[in-house]
């Protein structure tokens, strides 16, 4: 691993973000990344966060058109309520703050407590839970579906609405619509290595796949011997389409988990498009790359979001963050 | 690996690029990625290419403000002259074409032959050789220094000059200036896995580093037992600064080789900034991410480019490609 010591991995990364991105204000001590121009007058604030190890999610999505602040926890561990409340206070312009919360037990509890803390300080808070992963219903870390790739769609699209000046209820409603319109499925070809453990977080024999893996290496639906990229696309897309039956075009995120070469990920994107074509689903936009990762896990996930014209317009709206950037 | 069969990896990836990026015209048969609006009237054309496995380089750098076309070879294998000549013909507006060539024996020979073919067809061609890697002087694949991370700086900055309407001699001179002002050094923590071989391309015992590795896993200067991120930054930056003695601010590329988590890469970026600060080198811009990769190799590289005000202005100029995008 490219680290100093496991204990400083998150702080070291935040120092690097501060060095590389002068547009961001990085509070290394409290592990919060904030838009430098926050609070933006008359704008609803968007705050997210979660365990580290999923970069660029969430800190890499802070900037105009997306998040106002992100809180970084230890690797694969929720940040604490004080961070989230502090972030809310830093970005609130008086029009309220939306918390974007991935559905993991620790995150849900901590964001709930943070909302109470923030409201005690006079910040109006709404929350949206992201629970898009169709692989399992409940797991060691989760009640209900896990929150994975759809987080990017929620943060981008709700972020665009907030940037346009939409009120808190509207930003919350759009975030909820995006989550309800999105489903994901992930596949591991290898396990991630956490700094603390120094080795793989689970045992996946060479030549086997974990179908339905979570972004912390949580178990999925089943293990199989190696499949082709095309077979994996069939399996993943069909799993998503069992839950999401789009009657219009979709946004597609073809996401790398960390160690899958972009060359292979583009080949997988071709197969995802092939399957969607065969199932009669039109693709309006496709994003290919490592966006919601699991350290150095080899593997990929597919997230589809049924997007009406308004969601598509907000998706295309300008954004300027380290991880996503266009139109400005 | 996330592939169908090794034989179709490059074609599959190009199909994925075509599906994901409607702004690009992808000729899967001839393995050429071209700006859809090429040839752009009154603009010098920029053409690059090389072996696949380094994505987003080069195909992901095609678009307004950067390359007009990129030719994809097999994994770690030069494309052929016919591809390059075909690309030159597709992008030439009559103002000539610049070939950006990484210094590997196969690429150099093939781009030379392509230049002759293109000139026979009436296309004026200039060439710039990128040879920034200070690790070794000559190797199995190279005479002189290898071409690595500086390719991104050359393609972005010369691309911006071409987009502004600079004539061929000027675009070539800027490309040459960028290359001469840039030096790189790479480190492997693990070997890449090629589709054809299905296993690592070289043996690096766990816990050892290859200092000075090339982007095809070529040997570097020496092997050592594991070092901290800070120690690696000291070694890599000092190796670069032995060759490049900047008397002004630099552009810094802190590049992931493929499988290094972005969390770790940002921590490494912090250490690179620390070392540069200690050596009295000011950093004008920092780019952190997987840009010039070696499939799923774990590791990183540092590229520094001494940038005067004009280079900095061209670096900041708008660009819209799958791999780099800002300002438009």
* Beta-sheet strand order (sheet of B32-35): B24-27, B32-35, B69-75, B45-52, B97-102, B125-130
User: Distances from the Cα of B116 to the Cαs of B45, B82, B112, B125, in angstroms?
Assistant: 16, 11, 7, 8
Whole-angstrom distance, CA of residue A233 vs CA of residue A10: 33
- Cβ atoms of A299 and A187 within 8 Å: the answer is yes
- Identify the burial level of B284 via C-beta atoms within 10 angstroms of its C-beta, where 0-12 means exposed, 13-18 middle and 19 or more buried: middle
Q: What is the pLDDT of residues A288-319, one digit of tens each?
A: 999 999 999 999 999 999 999 999 999 999 99
Residues of A in contact with B288 (CB under 8 A): 16, 20, 322
Indicate yes or no: CB of A270 within 8 angstroms of CB of B326.
Answer: no
Residue whose token pair is 């002759």: B116
Beta bridge partners of A97: A45, A125
Residue whose token pair is 């219903």: A137
Give the residue from chain B lying closest to A251, CA to CA: B20
The average pLDDT across A198-203 equals 88
- Cβ atoms of A305 and A177 within 8 Å: the answer is no
Instruction: Give pLDDT, residue A30.
Output: 98
User: Distances from the Cα of A69 to the Cαs of A51, A121, A294, B247, B287, in angstroms?
Assistant: 14, 18, 21, 37, 21
Instruction: Give pLDDT, residue A328.
Output: 72
The Cα of B194 is separated from the nearest Cα of chain A by a number of Å equal to 10
Instruction: Give pLDDT, residue B270.
Output: 98
Instruction: Give pLDDT, residue B242.
Output: 96
**Residue A7 carries which DSSP code?**
G
Beta bridge partners of B97: B45, B125
The average pLDDT across A243-272 equals 97
Residues of A in contact with B282 (CB under 8 A): none
Examine the pLDDT at A139 and tell me if it is beyond 80. no
Whole-angstrom distance, CA of residue A131 vs CA of residue A21: 30
Beta bridge partners of B225: B208
Residues of B in contact with A232 (CB under 8 A): 2
The Cα of A151 is separated from the nearest Cα of chain B by a number of Å equal to 18
Q: Which of A21, A54, A58, A141 is catalytic?
A: A54
Instruction: Give pLDDT, residue A242.
Output: 96
Instruction: Give pLDDT, residue A199.
Output: 87
Beta bridge partners of A325: A320
Question: Which one of A6, A28, A232, A263 makes the best mutation probe of the B interface by having the most chain B beta carbons within 10 Å?
Answer: A263
Cα A90 to the chain's mean position, in Å? Answer: 22
Give the residue from chain B lying closest to A320, CA to CA: B326
Instruction: Give pLDDT, residue B154.
Output: 98
Q: Report, as residue numbers or ranges, the catalytic residues of B.
A: 54, 216
Give the residue from chain A lying closest to B233, CA to CA: A2
User: Distances from the Cα of B119 to the Cαs of A25, A165, A216, B41, B126, in angstroms?
Assistant: 52, 56, 55, 19, 10
Whole-angstrom distance, CA of residue A229 vs CA of residue A268: 6
Domain boundaries of chain A, sorted by first residue: 6-181, 182-314
Picking from A193, A168, A182, the residue whose alpha carbon sits closest to that of residue A99 is: A168
Q: In the 3-class helix/strand/coil scheme, how is chain B assigned residue by residue? A: CCCCCHHHHHHHHHHHHHHHCCCEEEECCCCEEEECCCCCCCCCEEEEEEEECCCCCCHHHECCCCECEEEEEEECCCCCHHHHHHHHHHHCCCCCEEEEEECCHHHHHHHHHHHHHHHHCCCCEEEEEECCECCCCCECCECCCECCCHHHHHHHHHHHHHHCCCCHHHHHHHHHHHHHCEEEEEEECCCCECCCCCCECCCCCCCEEEECCCCCCCCCCEEEECCCHHHHHHHHHHHHHHHCCCCCCEEEEEEECECCCHHHHHHHHHHHHHHHHHCCCCEEEEEEECCCCCCCECEEEEEEEECCHHHHHHHHCCEECCCCEECC
Residues of A in contact with B296 (CB under 8 A): 259-261, 298
Q: Mention every residue, 6+ apart, whose C-beta is less than 8 A from residue A231.
A: none
The sign one gets for the Cα dihedral A6, A297, B299, A71 is negative
Q: Which of A21, A30, A216, A273 is catalytic?
A: A216
Examine the pLDDT at B31 and tell me if it is beyond 90. yes
Span of A98-107, A198-207, B90-99, B124-133 with lowest mean pLDDT: A198-207
- Cβ atoms of A267 and B2 within 8 Å: the answer is yes
The Cα of B230 is separated from the nearest Cα of chain A by a number of Å equal to 6
Indicate yes or no: CB of B55 within 8 angstroms of CB of A261.
Answer: yes
Cα A291 to the chain's mean position, in Å? Answer: 7
At A184 the three-state DSSP class reads: strand
Whole-angstrom distance, CA of residue B204 vs CA of residue B219: 10
**Beta-carbon-side half-sphere exposure of residue B129 (alpha carbons within 13 Å):** 17
Indicate yes or no: CB of A55 within 8 angstroms of CB of B287.
Answer: no
Task: Kindly provide the ipTM of the predicted complex, given to two decimals.
Answer: 0.98
Examine the pLDDT at A193 and tell me if it is beyond 90. yes
Residues of A in contact with B18 (CB under 8 A): 270
Note the CATH number of domain B182-314.
3.30.1180.20
The Cα of A70 is separated from the nearest Cα of chain B by a number of Å equal to 14
Would you state the structure tokens that stand for residue B301, as one six-digit string? 């590289």
Question: Between B14, B268, B295, which is nearest A2 by CB?
Answer: B268
* Beta-sheet strand order (sheet of B182-188): B222-225, B208-211, B182-188, B299-306, B250-256, B283-289
Examine the pLDDT at B142 and tell me if it is beyond 90. no
Which percentage of chain B shows pLDDT scores above 70?
100
Instruction: Give pLDDT, residue A143.
Output: 84
Give the residue from chain A lying closest to B260, CA to CA: A296
- What is the maximum alpha-carbon separation in chain A? 55
Other beta carbons less than 10 A from residue B304's beta carbon:
29
Q: The domain at A6-181 falls in which architecture?
A: 3-Layer(aba) Sandwich (3.40)
Whole-angstrom distance, CA of residue A164 vs CA of residue A158: 10
Q: What is the pLDDT of residues A260-292, one digit of tens each?
A: 999 999 999 999 999 999 999 999 999 999 999
Residue whose token pair is 């002002």: B181
CATH topology agreement for domains B6-131+140-165 and B182-314: no
Q: What is the pLDDT of residues A142-185, one digit of tens each?
A: 889 999 999 999 999 999 999 999 999 999 999 999 999 999 99
Indicate yes or no: CB of B56 within 8 angstroms of CB of A262.
Answer: yes
Picking from A197, A201, A198, A151, the residue whose alpha carbon sits closest to that of residue A178 is: A151
Whole-angstrom distance, CA of residue B320 vs CA of residue B328: 6
Indicate yes or no: CB of A1 within 8 angstroms of CB of B264.
Answer: yes
Residues of A in contact with B13 (CB under 8 A): 263-264, 266-267, 270
Indicate yes or no: CB of B3 within 8 angstroms of CB of A267.
Answer: yes
Indicate yes or no: CB of B3 within 8 angstroms of CB of A271.
Answer: no
Is there a catalytic annotation at residue A30? no
Instruction: Give pLDDT, residue B141.
Output: 74
Indicate yes or no: CB of A270 within 8 angstroms of CB of B12.
Answer: yes
Indicate yes or no: CB of A55 within 8 angstroms of CB of B298.
Answer: no
Whole-angstrom distance, CA of residue A34 vs CA of residue A54: 18
- Cβ atoms of B52 and A263 within 8 Å: the answer is yes
Question: Between A3, A16, A229, which is nearest B12 by CB?
Answer: A229
Question: Which one of B7, B20, B65 makes the best mutation probe of the A interface by having the most chain A beta carbons within 10 Å?
Answer: B20
Whole-angstrom distance, CA of residue B54 vs CA of residue A262: 8
**Beta-carbon-side half-sphere exposure of residue B227 (alpha carbons within 13 Å):** 20
**B6-131+140-165 has CATH 2.60.40.290 classification:** no
CB pairs under 8 A between A and B: 190
User: Distances from the Cα of B242 to the Cαs of B178, B236, B268, in angstroms?
Assistant: 18, 10, 20
Examine the pLDDT at B139 and tell me if it is beyond 80. no
Which percentage of chain A shows pLDDT scores above 90?
93
Give the residue from chain B lying closest to A285, CA to CA: B20
Q: What is the pLDDT of residues B185-220, one digit of tens each?
A: 999 999 999 999 988 888 899 899 999 999 999 888
Instruction: Give pLDDT, residue A206.
Output: 87
Q: What is the pLDDT of residues A55-94, one digit of tens each?
A: 999 999 999 999 999 999 999 999 999 999 999 999 999 9
The Cα of A300 is separated from the nearest Cα of chain B by a number of Å equal to 9
Indicate yes or no: CB of B228 within 8 angstroms of CB of A4.
Answer: yes
Peptide bond into B56 cis (omega under 30): yes
Indicate yes or no: CB of A2 within 8 angstroms of CB of B300.
Answer: yes
Q: For residue B138, name the pLDDT band (cuts at 50, 70, 90).
A: confident
- Higher confidence at residue B118 or residue A199? B118
Examine the pLDDT at A138 and tell me if it is beyond 90. no
């Amino acid at each position: 691993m490219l680290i100093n010591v496991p204990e400083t991995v998150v702080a070291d990364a935040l120092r690097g973000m501060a060095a590389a991105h002068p547009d961001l204000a990085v509070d290394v001590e409290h592990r919060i990344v904030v838009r430098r121009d926050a609070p933006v007058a008359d704008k609803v604030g968007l705050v997210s966060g979660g365990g580290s190890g999923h970069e660029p999610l969430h800190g890499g999505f802070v900037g105009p058109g997306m998040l106002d602040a992100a809180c970084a926890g230890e690797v694969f561990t929720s940040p604490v309520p004080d961070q989230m409340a502090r972030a809310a206070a830093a970005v609130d312009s008086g029009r309220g703050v939306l918390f974007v919360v991935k559905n993991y037990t620790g995150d849900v509890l901590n964001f709930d407590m943070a909302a109470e803390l923030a409201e005690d300080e006079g910040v109006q808070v709404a929350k949206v839970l992201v629970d898009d992963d169709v692989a399992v219903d409940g797991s060691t870390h989760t009640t209900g579906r896990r929150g994975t790739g759809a987080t990017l769609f929620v943060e981008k699209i709700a972020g665009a609405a907030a940037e346009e000046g939409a009120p808190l209820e509207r930003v919350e409603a759009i975030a909820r619509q995006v989550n309800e319109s999105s489903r994901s499925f992930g596949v591991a070809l290898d396990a991630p290595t956490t700094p603390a453990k120094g080795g793989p977080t689970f045992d996946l024999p060479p030549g086997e796949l974990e179908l339905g893996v979570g972004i912390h290496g949580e178990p999925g639906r089943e293990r199989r011997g190696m499949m082709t990229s095309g077979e994996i696309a069939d399996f993943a897309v069909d799993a998503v389409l069992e839950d999401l039956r789009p009657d219009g075009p979709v946004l597609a995120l073809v996401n790398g988990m960390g160690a899958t070469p972009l060359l292979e990920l583009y080949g997988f994107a071709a197969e995802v498009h092939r399957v969607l074509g065969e199932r009669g689903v039109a693709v309006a936009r496709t994003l290919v790359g490592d966006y919601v990762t699991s350290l150095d896990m080899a593997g990929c996930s597919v997230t589809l979001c049924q997007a009406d014209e308004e969601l598509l317009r907000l998706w295309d709206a300008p954004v300027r963050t380290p991880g996503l950037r266009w139109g400005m």
